[in-house]
Amino acid sequence: MQINKINKITKITKKVIIIAVFIAVTVALSACGATRDTGSKETIGNETANGSSKQTVKIAYLPITHALPLYIENELGKHNFKNIDIELVKFGSWPELMDALNTGKVDGASVLIELAIKAKEQGIDLKAVALGHRDGNVVVVSQDINDTADLKGKTFAIPHRLSTHNILLYQMLKDAGMNFSDLKVIELPPPEMPAALAEGRISGYLVAEPFGAKSVANSTGKVLFKSQDIWEDSVCCSLVLRNEFIKGNNDAAFELVKEYVDAGSYINSKGEKVNDIAKQYLKVEQDVLDLSLEWISYKDLKIYEKDYNALRDYMIEMDLSKNPPPYNDFVDSSLIEKVK
Ligand code: ZN
């Protein structure tokens, strides 16, 4: 009885071992196949007509004017891609977008550069490869505010503490001999800001476009300052990529950046499809879009060391970061420098 039982167990064990070996060999073979096919990380792309593989690059974004080159690239530039397909992934908030970027659910993002700097500081290997835009932020206030001093004791909204908007507000107050304790600064989701101003819940705000233009076009707000009046060549949004993607897929990363830069030039030269594409992604009225585009530029999207260092100094001065990464650790201009 005992011996029969042992024999039975031995037979079962043998079967299990045979199945395990079969699975292991199958997995090993398929893994070799995958390595041979892509020569890179897990993303295996679509087959093209000639049988070569095209890699799908996932880029995260929020629906703001500051990410416009991505929309143009996705609609026009993608037809020039040889090695990649682009998939834009829309998010509703910066924390959700950063979570996807930090955990590798996307390969890159158009994002507030301060959030990416903070992630890099915390050990996520990200690289800023281009600016999102130049200028394009405005201080919007209610009609009764005529200078910075009028904001004393009032409520003012920014989207996030880690933002160029917070830094611009800091410098604007400093220029007027004031500081954060002179007003009540709150964080609000950008789409809520125009309504909050119209209803008198806040007296001003500073945020990515087109939310500033919405209040100005409706006459519920006016422009107190443009970003360049406060901080020339301010750095705001950036196209950020995971470094493992750049290193493992350099040709794909270059193609992505090239079409991104070309999209910026297309917007700057007022390409005929800009309005239609922008409205497809932003859902804004034409007058709001016109105003928003009047304030922003997409010319020369390279991140220069002096501009980045100015941002770094602000982040330290404002205690937004103890040790923001130096330019050479965080900014990779090698791709944009190859774009003719
Ligand atoms: Zn921006």
Q: How far is the CA of 216 from the centre of ligand 1 (A)?
A: 18
Least confident of 34-38, 111-115, 254-258: 34-38
Classify residue 318 by its DSSP letter: T
Q: Answer yes or no: same fold for 55-133+236-337 and 138-230.
A: yes
pTM over 0.75: yes
Q: How far is the CA of 208 from the centre of ligand 1 (A)?
A: 6
Least confident of 50-59, 88-97, 238-247, 300-309: 50-59
The dihedral built from the CA positions of residue 14, 16, 20 and 22, taken in this order, carries a sign that is: positive
- Give me the pLDDT at residue 171, please: 98
Over residues 244-266, mean pLDDT: 96
Cβ atoms of 75 and 277 within 8 Å: the answer is yes
Residue 52 confidence class, pLDDT cut points 50, 70, 90 = low
- Give me the pLDDT at residue 28, please: 34
Q: How far is the CA of 328 from the centre of ligand 1 (A)?
A: 22
Least confident of 74-83, 226-235, 271-280: 74-83
- Residue 205, pLDDT > 80, answer yes
Burial class of residue 77 (count of CB atoms within 10 Å of its CB; 0-12, 13-18, 19+): buried
Tell me which CATH code domain 138-230 carries: 3.40.190.10
Q: How far is the CA of 66 from the centre of ligand 1 (A)?
A: 5
Q: Which two tokens stand for residue 272?
A: 């005929």
Over residues 80-108, mean pLDDT: 95
- Give me the pLDDT at residue 286, please: 96
Q: How far is the CA of 43 from the centre of ligand 1 (A)?
A: 29
Q: How far is the CA of 168 from the centre of ligand 1 (A)?
A: 12
Q: How far is the CA of 136 from the centre of ligand 1 (A)?
A: 7
Q: How far is the CA of 161 from the centre of ligand 1 (A)?
A: 14
Q: How far is the CA of 257 from the centre of ligand 1 (A)?
A: 17
- Give me the pLDDT at residue 54, please: 82
For residue range 122-160, list pLDDT tens digits in order. 999 999 999 999 999 999 999 999 999 999 999 999 999
Q: How far apart are CA 104 and CA 108, in angstroms?
A: 8
Q: How far is the CA of 68 from the centre of ligand 1 (A)?
A: 10
Q: How far is the CA of 249 from the centre of ligand 1 (A)?
A: 27
Q: What residues pack around ion ligand 1 (CB closer than 5 A)?
A: 66, 208, 236-237
Cβ atoms of 65 and 212 within 8 Å: the answer is no
Q: Which CATH number fits domain 55-133+236-337: 3.40.190.10, 3.10.20.440, 3.40.50.720, 3.40.50.450?
A: 3.40.190.10
Residue 83 confidence class, pLDDT cut points 50, 70, 90 = confident
How is the chain split into domains, by residue range? 55-133+236-337, 138-230
More confident residue, 8 or 65: 65
- Residue 67, pLDDT > 80, answer yes
